Amino acid sequence: MSIINSRELSPEASARLRALAAALGSHSRVERVQFVRQFLAQKGIAQNQIETFLTQNLKRFATEQRGYQEKLEEAGKAGDPMQVLFTRGRCVRPAAFRSTLRCFRITRLRTLYA
């Protein structure tokens, strides 16, 4: 797990972030590093802010995932599979869901009227 109980990054996660930040500062030709470097540049993240930016985002993501897992576990205790499915559906971000639904509708309309 990336976060320990005190909401701090685990030593392993911290080490991986430091290694990524170091790789981003080098002339690495690894595709993943180049992708992250390009993403951070598009976001306007300065070189001296990279490690802080990555740390904050990993903490946020891990906290969201932990909350999601806790909600699913709580729903599973009810013994009703439909409750788990309902909970999964409610945990999806509405904007992402609407976008996916819109793409599905457009695709379906294209196949119906093609």
**With contact defined as beta carbons under 8 Å apart, do 87 and 75 qualify?**
yes
* Per-domain residue ranges of the chain: 1-63, 78-114
pTM above the 0.85 mark? no
- Residues 29-76 have pLDDT tens digits of 889 889 999 999 999 999 899 999 988 888 888 888 888 888 888 888
CA distances (Å), origin 23, targets 11, 18, 33, 106: 18, 9, 7, 41
